[in-house]
Structure 1
Amino acid sequence: MAQPSPGARRLTVAVVLAPLLAALALWAFAWPAARTAPRDLPLGVAGPASATSALERQLAGRHPGAFEIHRYDDEAAARAAIEDRTVYGAVVVTPEGPEALTASAASPVVAQLLQQAVTEQAAATGARVRTVDVVAAPASDPRGAALTASVLPLVMAGLATGAAVTFLGLGGVRAALALSGASALVGLAAAGIADSWLGVLTGDWWAEAGVLGLSTLAVAAAAAGLSSLVGRAGLGVVGALVMLVGNPFSGAASAPRMLPEPAGAIGQWLPPGAGASLLRSVAFFDGAAAVGPALTLTWWAVLGLGAVLLGDALGPRTASTESPTETREPVAVS
């Protein structure tokens, strides 16, 4: 039986690959969006023990599995927990009625959800709910849309930087310096746009630039590093990972705890999710809860740069172990 020609095989691969990639992209983006809901969302309750116990039971009854309750003695302790990013918000029981403490800078979606849940809870008793935004989102970006929109451009900048270093044939120390320098410039430019011009970031300017640059370097180094070890296919592997998984699983548009498991957890181990969390901490919370995402980005950057150096070191050694092609002089026949 005749085997298909190489052209026919390539055509078959292209026809099959396109719908598979489309299905993967649709699943990665649509599944978390369609299943967005609070899951063990950290929420504080403060006030007298008798009143807070009743409130906890009511919240658990109306919203089963939605909240992870943290108890605090008073409003000051609850506010401190919000500012430390221990909880997304809190409900304070007062003689005048419940008070909802939110943090729209942490997540406008969660802040609105919390306010709605407390309002529904108080409607049964006719009490009025007072809402206080403890850490408010900037007036120029009240819905957090600009911060969410920054995730994809940083990923694209990282992939472009890694691809440029790979296609230019840079290796070793020169590649590491190029990746670091380009990422630092991306961070400076992004901070200039987001903070100085648009005003959607309100933290320390240099810290924000560092976070934006580190987020870019994590992707760029991973792309260039894997390409240095396995060839240019490494660019496609890292690109698919951060674009089709890291971006929709980042939780930047809502919160990691709003995504179905394990999407929220996976997203925080990838550069887009870790970068978004770290940027919120630095821009709005004076660096609170920044250690985890900072370590994640650092590990991606260090491992990627290490792979770049390792690939450069293994290249000459591999070439030296290959036996050269022997050439023999033709023997003249007399």
Structure 2
Amino acid sequence: MSAVPARRMIAVMVLVPVVVALALWAFAWPAARTAPRDLPVGVAGPAAAVTQLERGFERREGAFDVHRYDDEASARAAVEDRVVYGAVVAGPKGTSLLTASGAGPVVAQLLEAVTAQAPAGTQVRVTDVAPLPSGDPRGTALAASALPLALAGVAAGALVTMSGLRGTRAAATLFGASALVGLTATAISHSWLGVLQGDWWAEAAALSLTVAAPGATVAGFAALLGTPGIGLGALLMVLLGNPFSGAASAPELLPEPVGAIGQWLPPGAGATLLRSVAYFDGRGAAAPLVTLSVWAALGLAAVFVGGRRRAAALAEAERPAPVPVA
């Protein structure tokens, strides 16, 4: 056996376990370490009652970030604005819990479990101020959409690159494909399955941008680095971006700093943006919208820079050699 095939065999045998280990770390580790970490929650009511509620949350050190509100109305507004995931309100009629399953059903269930530990005889009324639709009462459909959208973006960027499209044509193709994906996904998720319940066109725009950002990133990497750029983009968007997105739970339930990193990547920002437009009338959409726009803009900039480099290299190669002077 020659040396070259032998080295290739060894490289493949070593590379496959490394990739598997990386995938297991990225997907299994965050799932196995799911727990609240500075999860924003609110408390409201009389001062004495609020202090007692705060102490209840603070027993779990580092688990909750408690916000005080004057009354139920202000606490409800904070939940609806996505400032907190839920709020416990103490009033003359007893204790009530405001949740928002649209922000994450896992968090809503967690808050219900925490308040269920109230002293015996205490009845806690639960009100879901941003409920999930009847078509997806557990929120599994939205969580399951993160991976297909990331794959769609990677595929769009890879196909644009392999088709030899450059510059304006590459940008137009990327955004055209992303827009069609967004329209198709909204038609399926909103109109057919009924798992989204916000403004139809806002959801389509959010889904389109969620595909365009990774698509432009992959195409940009490929324009600058060549074919290996496609693999780098896929690694970043699928292998890291998807499990770090918090789409199936919440960013604050993932190990630190995974939750924060996930929100800086397109899959996590896209999931947060889609929740905002689908269940909260766009409230809380600013940060993920900026994140996705920055990724898309930087990716397109790289596409144009790479295209100009390629054009300059081709022009240099085609330039006739100087005629030697006798």
TM-score (normalizing by structure 2): 0.96
Do structure 1's residue 161 and structure 2's residue 156 form an aligned pair?
Answer: yes
Correspondent of 1:93 among 83, 90, 93: 90
Contact 2:140/2:248, CA 8 A, preserved across alignment? yes
Q: Does the residue aligned with 2:17 lie in a helix, a strand or coil?
A: helix
| Partner deviation per Cα, 1:151-195 (whole Å, 9 max, x = no partner) | 111111111111111111111111111111011000000000000
Matched letter for residue 91 of structure 1: V
Match of 1:29 in 2: 27
Cα distance, 1:49 vs. partner? 0.8
Cα distance, 1:16 vs. partner? 0.4
Cα distance, 1:59 vs. partner? 2.1
Match of 2:244 in 1: 249
* CA–CA distance in structure 1, aligned partners of residues 320 and 148 of structure 2: 47
Do structure 1's residue 152 and structure 2's residue 134 form an aligned pair?
Answer: no
Cα distance, 1:45 vs. partner? 0.2
* CA–CA distance in structure 2, aligned partners of residues 59 and 236 of structure 1: 44
Match of 1:206 in 2: 201
* CA–CA distance in structure 1, aligned partners of residues 52 and 277 of structure 2: 36
Matched letter for residue 145 of structure 2: S
* CA–CA distance in structure 1, aligned partners of residues 209 and 53 of structure 2: 42
Cα distance, 1:96 vs. partner? 3.3
Equivalent residues in 2 for 1:248-327, closer than 5 Å? 248-321=243-316
| Partner deviation per Cα, 1:192-212 (whole Å, 9 max, x = no partner) | 000010110000000100010
Equivalent residues in 2 for 1:137-148, closer than 5 Å? 137-148=132-143
Match of 1:72 in 2: 69
Correspondent of 2:10 among 9, 12, 22: 12
RMSD across aligned positions (CA): 1.7
* CA–CA distance in structure 2, aligned partners of residues 35 and 55 of structure 1: 26
Unaligned runs of 5+ in 1: 329-334
Q: Moved runs in structure 1, 4+ residues, more than 2 A?
A: 318-328
Correspondent of 1:235 among 227, 230, 242: 230
* CA–CA distance in structure 2, aligned partners of residues 233 and 59 of structure 1: 48
Equivalent residues in 2 for 1:104-143, closer than 5 Å? 104-120=101-117, 122=118, 124-143=119-138
* CA–CA distance in structure 1, aligned partners of residues 134 and 189 of structure 2: 13
Q: Does the residue aligned with 1:70 lie in a helix, a strand or coil?
A: strand
Q: Does the residue aligned with 2:103 lie in a helix, a strand or coil?
A: coil
Do structure 1's residue 50 and structure 2's residue 48 form an aligned pair?
Answer: yes
* CA–CA distance in structure 1, aligned partners of residues 265 and 115 of structure 2: 33
Matched letter for residue 22 of structure 1: V
Q: Does the residue aligned with 2:37 lie in a helix, a strand or coil?
A: coil
Contact 2:57/2:66, CA 8 A, preserved across alignment? no
Unaligned runs of 5+ in 2: none
* CA–CA distance in structure 2, aligned partners of residues 326 and 171 of structure 1: 27
Q: Does the residue aligned with 2:62 lie in a helix, a strand or coil?
A: coil
Size of the aligned set, in residue pairs, is 323
Q: Does the residue aligned with 1:42 lie in a helix, a strand or coil?
A: strand
Cα distance, 1:228 vs. partner? 0.9
Cα distance, 1:326 vs. partner? 7.1
* CA–CA distance in structure 1, aligned partners of residues 231 and 162 of structure 2: 13
Q: Does the residue aligned with 1:105 lie in a helix, a strand or coil?
A: helix
Q: Does the residue aligned with 2:116 lie in a helix, a strand or coil?
A: helix
| Partner deviation per Cα, 1:273-324 (whole Å, 9 max, x = no partner) | 0000000000110111111000000011111111111111111222344597
| Partner deviation per Cα, 1:193-234 (whole Å, 9 max, x = no partner) | 000101100000001000100010001111111101110110
Percentage of matched positions with identical amino acids: 59
Q: Does the residue aligned with 1:132 lie in a helix, a strand or coil?
A: strand
* CA–CA distance in structure 2, aligned partners of residues 55 and 327 of structure 1: 84
TM-score (normalizing by structure 1): 0.93
* CA–CA distance in structure 2, aligned partners of residues 27 and 327 of structure 1: 57
* CA–CA distance in structure 2, aligned partners of residues 250 and 239 of structure 1: 15
* CA–CA distance in structure 1, aligned partners of residues 318 and 304 of structure 2: 24
Matched letter for residue 77 of structure 1: S
